[in-house]
Structure 1
Protein backbone atom coordinates (compact mmCIF):
# COMPACT_ATOMS: atom_id res chain seq x y z
CA UNK A 1 0.00 0.00 0.00
CA UNK A 2 1.31 3.43 -0.96
CA UNK A 3 2.27 5.55 2.00
CA UNK A 4 0.20 8.70 2.52
CA UNK A 5 2.07 11.96 3.02
CA UNK A 6 1.34 13.20 6.55
CA UNK A 7 2.11 16.88 7.08
CA UNK A 8 2.17 16.52 10.88
CA UNK A 9 4.91 13.89 10.66
CA UNK A 10 6.89 15.48 7.83
CA UNK A 11 6.83 18.99 9.32
CA UNK A 12 7.16 18.38 13.03
CA UNK A 13 8.56 21.88 13.54
CA UNK A 14 5.21 23.31 12.41
CA UNK A 15 2.81 20.86 14.03
CA UNK A 16 4.55 19.21 16.99
CA UNK A 17 6.32 21.84 19.10
CA UNK A 18 7.38 21.17 22.68
CA UNK A 19 5.41 22.17 25.76
CA UNK A 20 7.75 25.12 26.12
CA UNK A 21 7.89 28.14 23.82
CA UNK A 22 10.08 28.17 20.73
CA UNK A 23 10.77 30.49 17.80
CA UNK A 24 9.80 29.50 14.25
CA UNK A 25 9.79 31.18 10.84
CA UNK A 26 6.63 29.89 9.15
CA UNK A 27 6.91 29.59 5.34
CA UNK A 28 4.26 30.29 2.73
CA UNK A 29 1.56 27.63 2.53
CA UNK A 30 -1.73 27.14 0.67
CA UNK A 31 -5.02 27.09 2.56
CA UNK A 32 -8.74 26.99 2.05
CA UNK A 33 -10.26 29.47 4.51
CA UNK A 34 -13.64 30.69 5.75
CA UNK A 35 -14.23 33.86 7.80
CA UNK A 36 -16.93 34.23 10.42
CA UNK A 37 -18.08 35.52 13.79
CA UNK A 38 -19.40 33.97 16.99
CA UNK A 39 -18.89 31.30 19.61
CA UNK A 40 -17.51 28.15 17.93
CA UNK A 41 -19.40 26.01 20.44
CA UNK A 42 -22.82 27.38 19.50
CA UNK A 43 -22.52 29.33 16.23
CA UNK A 44 -24.34 27.96 13.19
CA UNK A 45 -21.90 29.99 11.08
CA UNK A 46 -18.95 28.07 12.57
CA UNK A 47 -20.68 24.74 11.96
CA UNK A 48 -21.25 25.71 8.32
CA UNK A 49 -17.60 26.76 8.01
CA UNK A 50 -16.54 23.28 9.11
CA UNK A 51 -18.82 21.67 6.51
CA UNK A 52 -17.34 23.88 3.81
CA UNK A 53 -13.69 23.39 4.79
CA UNK A 54 -13.86 19.63 5.23
CA UNK A 55 -16.16 19.23 2.24
CA UNK A 56 -13.71 20.97 -0.09
CA UNK A 57 -10.64 19.35 1.47
CA UNK A 58 -12.05 15.84 1.05
CA UNK A 59 -13.40 16.59 -2.43
CA UNK A 60 -9.81 17.29 -3.45
CA UNK A 61 -8.30 14.40 -1.51
CA UNK A 62 -10.80 11.81 -2.76
CA UNK A 63 -10.57 12.91 -6.40
CA UNK A 64 -8.28 9.89 -6.87
CA UNK A 65 -11.36 7.66 -6.58
CA UNK A 66 -13.17 8.88 -9.70
CA UNK A 67 -10.27 9.72 -11.98
CA UNK A 68 -10.54 13.49 -11.61
CA UNK A 69 -7.41 14.03 -9.53
CA UNK A 70 -5.43 17.19 -10.33
CA UNK A 71 -2.06 17.33 -12.02
CA UNK A 72 0.81 16.31 -9.68
CA UNK A 73 -1.64 14.75 -7.19
CA UNK A 74 -0.19 12.56 -4.43
CA UNK A 75 -2.02 10.75 -1.65
CA UNK A 76 -1.96 12.48 1.71
CA UNK A 77 -3.57 12.84 5.11
CA UNK A 78 -5.77 15.95 5.27
CA UNK A 79 -3.89 18.40 7.53
CA UNK A 80 -5.41 19.55 10.83
CA UNK A 81 -7.94 22.32 11.25
CA UNK A 82 -6.48 25.72 12.14
CA UNK A 83 -8.02 28.93 13.43
CA UNK A 84 -7.16 32.62 13.67
CA UNK A 85 -9.00 34.44 16.46
CA UNK A 86 -9.48 38.10 17.39
CA UNK A 87 -11.91 40.72 18.68
CA UNK A 88 -13.03 43.99 17.09
CA UNK A 89 -13.24 45.63 20.50
CA UNK A 90 -9.93 47.39 21.19
CA UNK A 91 -10.41 46.84 24.92
CA UNK A 92 -9.30 43.24 24.35
CA UNK A 93 -5.94 44.56 23.12
CA UNK A 94 -5.26 41.65 20.78
CA UNK A 95 -6.02 39.03 23.40
CA UNK A 96 -8.33 36.03 23.21
CA UNK A 97 -9.96 36.30 26.62
CA UNK A 98 -13.44 37.73 26.39
CA UNK A 99 -17.02 36.98 25.36
CA UNK A 100 -16.84 34.09 22.89
CA UNK A 101 -19.95 35.39 21.14
CA UNK A 102 -17.83 38.37 20.02
CA UNK A 103 -15.09 36.24 18.47
CA UNK A 104 -14.07 37.02 14.92
CA UNK A 105 -12.33 34.10 13.27
CA UNK A 106 -10.82 32.63 10.15
CA UNK A 107 -10.88 28.84 10.00
CA UNK A 108 -8.38 27.18 7.69
CA UNK A 109 -7.18 23.81 6.41
CA UNK A 110 -3.82 23.54 4.69
CA UNK A 111 -3.76 22.14 1.15
CA UNK A 112 -1.02 20.37 -0.81
CA UNK A 113 1.04 22.47 -3.21
CA UNK A 114 -0.73 20.94 -6.23
CA UNK A 115 -3.93 22.73 -5.17
CA UNK A 116 -3.92 25.75 -7.46
CA UNK A 117 -6.68 28.35 -7.63
CA UNK A 118 -8.07 26.43 -10.61
CA UNK A 119 -8.22 23.22 -8.56
CA UNK A 120 -9.98 25.16 -5.78
CA UNK A 121 -12.62 26.46 -8.22
CA UNK A 122 -13.11 22.96 -9.63
CA UNK A 123 -13.55 21.53 -6.11
CA UNK A 124 -16.16 24.20 -5.28
CA UNK A 125 -18.15 23.34 -8.40
CA UNK A 126 -18.00 19.62 -7.66
CA UNK A 127 -19.03 20.03 -4.01
CA UNK A 128 -21.80 22.49 -4.92
CA UNK A 129 -23.35 19.88 -7.21
CA UNK A 130 -23.25 17.38 -4.37
CA UNK A 131 -24.38 19.76 -1.60
CA UNK A 132 -26.28 22.69 -3.16
CA UNK A 133 -27.33 23.94 0.28
CA UNK A 134 -23.76 24.99 1.16
CA UNK A 135 -22.83 28.64 0.62
CA UNK A 136 -19.45 28.04 -0.97
CA UNK A 137 -19.03 31.72 -1.77
CA UNK A 138 -17.69 31.97 1.80
CA UNK A 139 -14.67 29.83 0.93
CA UNK A 140 -11.49 31.49 -0.23
CA UNK A 141 -8.18 30.29 -1.64
CA UNK A 142 -5.32 31.66 0.43
CA UNK A 143 -1.55 31.72 -0.02
CA UNK A 144 -0.19 32.83 3.32
CA UNK A 145 3.29 33.35 4.75
CA UNK A 146 2.97 33.79 8.51
CA UNK A 147 6.61 34.60 9.12
CA UNK A 148 8.35 34.87 12.47
CA UNK A 149 6.33 33.46 15.38
CA UNK A 150 6.62 31.95 18.84
CA UNK A 151 4.65 28.76 19.41
CA UNK A 152 3.92 26.20 22.12
CA UNK A 153 2.05 22.91 22.52
CA UNK A 154 -0.90 23.48 24.84
CA UNK A 155 -2.28 20.41 26.59
CA UNK A 156 -5.79 20.63 28.03
CA UNK A 157 -8.92 22.72 27.72
CA UNK A 158 -9.10 25.67 25.33
CA UNK A 159 -10.25 27.70 28.35
CA UNK A 160 -6.85 27.25 30.03
CA UNK A 161 -4.81 28.49 27.06
CA UNK A 162 -3.89 31.63 29.00
CA UNK A 163 -1.42 29.51 31.00
CA UNK A 164 0.51 28.65 27.84
CA UNK A 165 0.16 32.17 26.47
CA UNK A 166 1.72 33.55 29.66
CA UNK A 167 4.71 31.23 29.12
CA UNK A 168 4.97 32.47 25.55
CA UNK A 169 4.83 36.11 26.62
CA UNK A 170 7.63 35.57 29.12
CA UNK A 171 9.77 33.84 26.50
CA UNK A 172 9.06 36.56 23.93
CA UNK A 173 10.25 39.24 26.34
CA UNK A 174 13.33 37.30 27.41
CA UNK A 175 14.41 36.72 23.80
CA UNK A 176 14.12 40.39 22.86
CA UNK A 177 10.93 40.20 20.80
CA UNK A 178 7.47 41.73 21.09
CA UNK A 179 4.14 40.17 20.15
CA UNK A 180 3.06 41.47 16.75
CA UNK A 181 -0.69 40.78 16.75
CA UNK A 182 -2.43 43.34 14.51
CA UNK A 183 -4.95 43.59 11.66
CA UNK A 184 -2.86 41.26 9.50
CA UNK A 185 -1.33 38.90 12.07
CA UNK A 186 -3.51 37.03 14.56
CA UNK A 187 -3.62 34.64 17.50
CA UNK A 188 -3.29 31.26 15.77
CA UNK A 189 -4.35 27.79 16.90
CA UNK A 190 -3.81 24.38 15.27
CA UNK A 191 -6.08 21.59 16.51
CA UNK A 192 -4.33 18.23 16.76
CA UNK A 193 -7.11 16.52 18.74
CA UNK A 194 -10.79 15.92 18.06
CA UNK A 195 -12.68 17.21 21.14
CA UNK A 196 -15.50 14.75 20.37
CA UNK A 197 -13.14 11.82 20.85
CA UNK A 198 -10.55 13.13 23.30
CA UNK A 199 -10.75 13.92 27.00
CA UNK A 200 -10.54 17.66 27.63
CA UNK A 201 -7.41 17.31 29.74
CA UNK A 202 -5.64 15.54 26.85
CA UNK A 203 -6.47 17.96 24.03
CA UNK A 204 -3.41 19.03 22.03
CA UNK A 205 -3.43 22.52 20.49
CA UNK A 206 -0.54 24.39 18.91
CA UNK A 207 -0.73 28.07 19.92
CA UNK A 208 1.22 30.47 17.74
CA UNK A 209 1.74 34.24 18.10
CA UNK A 210 3.45 36.45 15.52
CA UNK A 211 6.45 38.35 16.85
CA UNK A 212 8.99 40.93 15.74
CA UNK A 213 12.40 41.93 17.05
CA UNK A 214 12.52 44.95 19.32
Structure 2
Protein backbone atom coordinates (compact mmCIF):
# COMPACT_ATOMS: atom_id res chain seq x y z
CA UNK A 1 0.00 0.00 0.00
CA UNK A 2 1.42 3.39 -1.04
CA UNK A 3 1.85 5.86 1.79
CA UNK A 4 0.86 9.51 1.61
CA UNK A 5 3.63 11.97 0.75
CA UNK A 6 3.88 14.65 3.43
CA UNK A 7 6.40 17.40 2.70
CA UNK A 8 6.96 18.12 6.42
CA UNK A 9 8.14 14.52 6.91
CA UNK A 10 9.78 13.66 3.60
CA UNK A 11 11.36 16.94 2.46
CA UNK A 12 12.73 18.49 5.62
CA UNK A 13 15.89 19.82 3.96
CA UNK A 14 13.76 21.99 1.64
CA UNK A 15 11.02 23.10 3.99
CA UNK A 16 12.25 22.76 7.57
CA UNK A 17 15.75 24.25 7.67
CA UNK A 18 17.45 25.47 10.83
CA UNK A 19 17.42 29.11 11.90
CA UNK A 20 20.92 29.63 10.56
CA UNK A 21 22.07 29.97 6.93
CA UNK A 22 22.88 26.91 4.86
CA UNK A 23 23.77 26.22 1.22
CA UNK A 24 21.33 24.04 -0.73
CA UNK A 25 20.76 23.00 -4.34
CA UNK A 26 17.09 23.12 -5.32
CA UNK A 27 16.12 20.98 -8.36
CA UNK A 28 13.33 21.52 -10.89
CA UNK A 29 9.79 21.46 -9.51
CA UNK A 30 6.30 22.07 -10.90
CA UNK A 31 4.35 25.07 -9.62
CA UNK A 32 1.02 26.79 -10.08
CA UNK A 33 1.61 30.52 -9.85
CA UNK A 34 0.00 33.94 -9.97
CA UNK A 35 1.68 37.36 -10.06
CA UNK A 36 0.75 40.63 -8.43
CA UNK A 37 1.97 44.01 -7.23
CA UNK A 38 1.49 46.23 -4.22
CA UNK A 39 1.08 45.89 -0.48
CA UNK A 40 0.70 42.27 0.71
CA UNK A 41 -1.77 43.48 3.35
CA UNK A 42 -4.20 44.42 0.57
CA UNK A 43 -7.35 42.56 -0.46
CA UNK A 44 -5.84 41.90 -3.89
CA UNK A 45 -3.06 39.87 -2.31
CA UNK A 46 -5.39 37.70 -0.21
CA UNK A 47 -7.66 37.17 -3.23
CA UNK A 48 -4.68 35.81 -5.17
CA UNK A 49 -3.83 33.46 -2.32
CA UNK A 50 -7.44 32.22 -2.28
CA UNK A 51 -7.44 31.59 -6.05
CA UNK A 52 -4.17 29.69 -5.82
CA UNK A 53 -5.36 27.44 -2.99
CA UNK A 54 -8.65 26.75 -4.82
CA UNK A 55 -6.63 25.29 -7.68
CA UNK A 56 -4.13 23.49 -5.43
CA UNK A 57 -6.87 21.64 -3.58
CA UNK A 58 -8.81 21.18 -6.82
CA UNK A 59 -5.80 19.39 -8.31
CA UNK A 60 -5.35 17.20 -5.26
CA UNK A 61 -9.01 16.09 -5.22
CA UNK A 62 -9.17 15.63 -8.99
CA UNK A 63 -6.15 13.32 -8.89
CA UNK A 64 -7.59 11.38 -5.97
CA UNK A 65 -10.82 10.71 -7.90
CA UNK A 66 -9.20 9.79 -11.21
CA UNK A 67 -9.81 6.17 -12.17
CA UNK A 68 -6.58 6.06 -14.16
CA UNK A 69 -3.84 7.72 -12.10
CA UNK A 70 -0.74 9.28 -13.68
CA UNK A 71 2.44 7.26 -13.40
CA UNK A 72 4.09 7.77 -10.01
CA UNK A 73 0.90 9.01 -8.36
CA UNK A 74 0.64 8.97 -4.58
CA UNK A 75 -1.71 10.95 -2.34
CA UNK A 76 -0.01 14.03 -0.92
CA UNK A 77 -0.30 16.93 1.47
CA UNK A 78 -0.77 20.24 -0.35
CA UNK A 79 2.53 22.11 -0.37
CA UNK A 80 2.91 25.45 1.45
CA UNK A 81 2.41 28.84 -0.13
CA UNK A 82 5.57 30.46 -1.51
CA UNK A 83 6.29 33.99 -2.65
CA UNK A 84 9.09 35.42 -4.79
CA UNK A 85 9.60 39.10 -3.96
CA UNK A 86 11.10 42.12 -5.73
CA UNK A 87 10.32 45.83 -6.14
CA UNK A 88 9.08 47.53 -9.31
CA UNK A 89 11.53 48.79 -11.92
CA UNK A 90 10.33 52.34 -11.24
CA UNK A 91 11.05 51.98 -7.51
CA UNK A 92 14.55 50.67 -8.24
CA UNK A 93 15.46 53.98 -9.90
CA UNK A 94 15.17 55.87 -6.61
CA UNK A 95 15.69 53.04 -4.10
CA UNK A 96 17.39 54.20 -0.87
CA UNK A 97 17.46 50.89 1.01
CA UNK A 98 14.04 51.22 2.65
CA UNK A 99 11.25 49.26 0.96
CA UNK A 100 7.83 50.83 0.49
CA UNK A 101 5.39 47.91 0.49
CA UNK A 102 3.32 49.59 -2.20
CA UNK A 103 6.33 49.17 -4.54
CA UNK A 104 6.52 45.40 -4.12
CA UNK A 105 6.02 43.00 -7.01
CA UNK A 106 5.57 39.30 -6.37
CA UNK A 107 4.80 35.86 -7.72
CA UNK A 108 2.84 33.58 -5.42
CA UNK A 109 3.06 29.85 -6.01
CA UNK A 110 2.29 26.40 -4.66
CA UNK A 111 4.46 23.48 -5.67
CA UNK A 112 2.87 20.48 -7.39
CA UNK A 113 4.07 16.85 -7.41
CA UNK A 114 6.24 15.64 -10.30
CA UNK A 115 3.39 13.52 -11.71
CA UNK A 116 1.24 16.59 -12.43
CA UNK A 117 1.23 18.26 -15.86
CA UNK A 118 0.04 21.45 -17.50
CA UNK A 119 -2.70 19.51 -19.34
CA UNK A 120 -4.03 18.18 -16.04
CA UNK A 121 -3.83 21.66 -14.52
CA UNK A 122 -5.86 23.16 -17.38
CA UNK A 123 -8.57 20.51 -16.97
CA UNK A 124 -8.82 21.24 -13.24
CA UNK A 125 -8.85 25.00 -13.82
CA UNK A 126 -11.97 24.61 -15.97
CA UNK A 127 -13.64 22.64 -13.16
CA UNK A 128 -12.71 25.19 -10.48
CA UNK A 129 -13.84 28.12 -12.64
CA UNK A 130 -17.32 26.53 -12.67
CA UNK A 131 -17.46 25.54 -8.97
CA UNK A 132 -15.68 28.56 -7.47
CA UNK A 133 -15.67 31.34 -10.08
CA UNK A 134 -13.06 34.07 -9.66
CA UNK A 135 -11.68 36.50 -12.24
CA UNK A 136 -8.20 35.75 -10.87
CA UNK A 137 -8.27 32.06 -11.81
CA UNK A 138 -7.50 32.91 -15.43
CA UNK A 139 -4.24 34.52 -14.26
CA UNK A 140 -2.95 31.33 -12.60
CA UNK A 141 -0.46 29.39 -14.71
CA UNK A 142 1.54 26.16 -14.50
CA UNK A 143 5.30 26.11 -14.91
CA UNK A 144 8.45 24.20 -14.04
CA UNK A 145 11.17 26.15 -12.27
CA UNK A 146 14.70 25.32 -11.13
CA UNK A 147 16.18 27.44 -8.35
CA UNK A 148 19.60 25.81 -8.33
CA UNK A 149 22.25 26.95 -5.85
CA UNK A 150 20.69 28.87 -2.94
CA UNK A 151 21.27 29.96 0.61
CA UNK A 152 18.31 29.47 2.91
CA UNK A 153 17.39 29.70 6.58
CA UNK A 154 14.33 29.61 8.81
CA UNK A 155 13.21 33.08 9.86
CA UNK A 156 11.31 33.22 13.16
CA UNK A 157 9.13 36.24 13.84
CA UNK A 158 7.42 39.08 11.94
CA UNK A 159 7.91 39.60 8.21
CA UNK A 160 9.20 43.12 8.91
CA UNK A 161 12.20 41.60 10.73
CA UNK A 162 13.30 39.56 7.70
CA UNK A 163 16.10 41.99 6.71
CA UNK A 164 18.04 40.81 9.80
CA UNK A 165 17.90 37.19 8.62
CA UNK A 166 18.70 38.16 5.03
CA UNK A 167 21.74 40.06 6.32
CA UNK A 168 22.93 36.89 8.09
CA UNK A 169 22.48 34.97 4.86
CA UNK A 170 24.49 37.53 2.88
CA UNK A 171 27.29 37.35 5.46
CA UNK A 172 27.28 33.55 5.16
CA UNK A 173 27.51 33.88 1.37
CA UNK A 174 30.48 36.21 1.65
CA UNK A 175 32.27 33.86 4.07
CA UNK A 176 31.84 31.01 1.59
CA UNK A 177 33.03 33.02 -1.44
CA UNK A 178 29.52 33.22 -2.86
CA UNK A 179 27.65 36.18 -4.33
CA UNK A 180 23.94 36.86 -4.03
CA UNK A 181 22.64 36.88 -7.62
CA UNK A 182 20.01 39.62 -7.07
CA UNK A 183 17.88 41.24 -4.37
CA UNK A 184 15.00 38.98 -5.36
CA UNK A 185 14.26 36.42 -2.66
CA UNK A 186 11.85 33.57 -2.00
CA UNK A 187 9.69 33.09 1.09
CA UNK A 188 7.99 29.81 2.05
CA UNK A 189 5.21 30.27 4.59
CA UNK A 190 5.07 27.52 7.22
CA UNK A 191 2.61 29.40 9.47
CA UNK A 192 -0.99 30.44 8.89
CA UNK A 193 -0.89 34.20 9.47
CA UNK A 194 -4.60 34.13 10.28
CA UNK A 195 -4.06 31.84 13.27
CA UNK A 196 -0.56 32.64 14.56
CA UNK A 197 0.74 35.85 16.12
CA UNK A 198 3.55 37.57 14.15
CA UNK A 199 6.19 36.76 16.79
CA UNK A 200 5.59 33.04 16.06
CA UNK A 201 5.66 33.16 12.26
CA UNK A 202 7.93 30.58 10.63
CA UNK A 203 9.15 31.51 7.16
CA UNK A 204 11.82 29.89 5.03
CA UNK A 205 13.94 32.58 3.33
CA UNK A 206 15.95 31.68 0.24
CA UNK A 207 17.97 33.47 -2.44
CA UNK A 208 20.14 32.40 -5.37
CA UNK A 209 23.94 32.53 -5.18
CA UNK A 210 26.87 31.99 -7.53
CA UNK A 211 30.64 31.68 -6.94
CA UNK A 212 32.54 34.96 -6.68
CA UNK A 213 34.78 35.93 -9.55
Tell me the TM-score normalised to structure 2 length: 0.91
Give runs of aligned pairs for residues 123-162 of structure 1, distance below 5 A.
123-162=124-163
Matched, 1:105 2:103: no
Are the aligned partners of 1:33 and 1:109 in contact in 2 as well (CA < 8 Å)?
A: yes
Shift of 1:67: 4.2
Shift of 1:169: 1.1
Q: 2:193 aligns to what SS in structure 1? A: coil
Flag the 1:71–1:65 CA change in 2: closer, same or farther, 3 A.
closer
Where do 5+ consecutive residues of structure 2 fail to align? none
Shift of 1:187: 0.7
Tell me the TM-score normalised to structure 1 length: 0.90
Shift of 1:188: 0.5
Flag the 1:64–1:142 CA change in 2: closer, same or farther, 3 A.
closer
In structure 1, C-alpha distance between the alignment counterparts of 2:209 and 2:95, rounded to whole Å? 18
In structure 2, C-alpha distance between the alignment counterparts of 1:121 and 1:167, rounded to whole Å? 41
In structure 1, C-alpha distance between the alignment counterparts of 2:132 and 2:67, rounded to whole Å? 18
Which residue number corresponds to residue 119 of structure 1? 120
In structure 2, C-alpha distance between the alignment counterparts of 1:39 and 1:69, rounded to whole Å? 43
Are the aligned partners of 2:31 and 2:111 in contact in 1 as well (CA < 8 Å)?
A: yes
Which residue number corresponds to residue 174 of structure 1? 175
Flag the 1:59–1:103 CA change in 2: closer, same or farther, 3 A.
same
Where do 5+ consecutive residues of structure 1 fail to align? none
Count of aligned residue pairs for this structure pair: 208
In structure 2, C-alpha distance between the alignment counterparts of 1:165 and 1:147, rounded to whole Å? 18
Give runs of aligned pairs for residues 74-93 of structure 1, distance below 5 A.
74-88=74-88, 89-90=91-92, 91-92=94-95
Flag the 1:65–1:10 CA change in 2: closer, same or farther, 3 A.
closer
- Match of residue 190, structure 2, among 176, 189, 192: 192
Flag the 1:68–1:203 CA change in 2: closer, same or farther, 3 A.
farther
Which residue number corresponds to residue 11 of structure 2? 11
Deviations 1:140-175 (A, max 9, x none): 111000011101100000010111111111111110
Matched, 1:29 2:29: yes
Matched, 1:62 2:87: no
Worse overlay, 125-134 or 152-161: 125-134
Flag the 1:2–1:211 CA change in 2: closer, same or farther, 3 A.
same
In structure 1, C-alpha distance between the alignment counterparts of 2:79 and 2:168, rounded to whole Å? 27
Flag the 1:69–1:111 CA change in 2: closer, same or farther, 3 A.
farther
Flag the 1:131–1:201 CA change in 2: closer, same or farther, 3 A.
same
CA RMSD of aligned residues (A): 1.9
Flag the 1:67–1:149 CA change in 2: closer, same or farther, 3 A.
closer
Which residue number corresponds to residue 53 of structure 1? 52
